[in-house]
Amino acid sequence: MKHYGSCLCQSVKFEIEGDFEKFFLCHCERCRKDTGSAHAANLFSTTARLIWLAGEELCRTYTLSGSLHQRSFCTHCGSALPSVQDEGRRLVVPAGSLDTDVPIRPDARICLADRANWDDSLDNIARLDDLPS
């Protein structure tokens, strides 16, 4: 299976060749800081291959000192991008970076003990199909 993705400014484009094995929504503090949101939504594969189609030179990877936590991003727009981790044994793809449909549903919400205090009972708030007026 092939999946395509890009950054917000369209300077970086990539292809993922293969299947995703796991999909996690991580609520840990590191992932919340990475995204500025309630959680990171990352796809994982040990067999898929990342192919840069454009802008690979604009991709930078930040590794948090003293940890295995990494975040790859576009240096122009800051969008999250895929990264090859664990010495090439694991591909991590931010689900929101894909331009094609994500073929699997999340497996789990992880690190819930670390979730933000405002990230609870969200099914009870208004749902809008567009921007609020």
10-20 in b/e form (b: 16+ CB < 10 A) is ebbbbebeeeb
Does some domain include residue 121? no
Does some domain include residue 14? yes
Does some domain include residue 57? yes
Q: Which domain holds residue 90?
A: 2-116
How many structural domains does the chain have?
1
Whole-number Å distance between alpha carbons of 83 and 72:
6
Per-residue pLDDT, 121: 79
Q: Which two tokens stand for residue 78?
A: 């800051």
Per-residue pLDDT, 45: 97
**pLDDT tier, 86 (very low <50, low <70, confident <90, very high otherwise):** confident
Radius of gyration of the chain measured on its C-alpha atoms: 15
Per-residue pLDDT, 2: 97
Does some domain include residue 89? yes
pTM: 0.92
Q: What is the CATH number of the domain that holds 18?
A: 2.170.150.70
Residues 4-45 pLDDT 10s: 999 999 999 999 999 999 999 999 999 999 999 999 999 999
